[in-house]
Amino acid sequence: MPKRAKKRQASKMPQETLKGWQQIAAFLGEPPSLVQRWASDGMPVRKQGRYVETTPDELNAWLGKESGKPVHVATENTDLTAELKRGLSFVRHEKPSKPLREAGNPGATTESVRKPGETN
């Protein structure tokens, strides 16, 4: 029976832990000074002695909460097809906040743009 308990414990452990400002900054693609500022503003990090650590899942959840939209930082192990599907699903279900704008005329809505010779 102890073998089963060990398997359960191993599955509950985090996949990867980012240790130190350099690794966290590299994961986020930002300089360490900015990451340290974000940590003082509420980014999830834990102090382990003189170092800090966090997990990619914690950072992705925090980024999503801060932006108000689902966010996932792509890594080498990320399934990009699944992430694209997830993002497209979110966009399809999100209500548009502003009317679409015509590319050539940013001040006009699509309803007010008429083709030459068109009348109301």
Residue 2 included in any domain: no
Q: Domain count for the chain, please give it.
A: 1
Domain harbouring 57, CATH code: 1.10.10
pLDDT 10s digit of each residue in the chain, 120 long? 455 544 444 444 446 899 999 999 998 888 999 999 999 999 999 999 999 999 998 998 888 888 776 666 776 777 778 777 777 777 777 766 665 555 555 555 555 555 555 565
Give the pTM: 0.52
Q: Could you give the CA distance from residue 52 to residue 25 in angstroms, rounded to a whole number? A: 12
Residue 32 included in any domain: yes
- Tell me which H or E stretch contains 51: strand 51-54
Contact 98, 110 (CB under 8 A): no
Residue 11 included in any domain: no
Domain of 55, in residue numbers: 16-92
Residue 78 included in any domain: yes
Residue 9 included in any domain: no
Give pLDDT, residue 96: 64
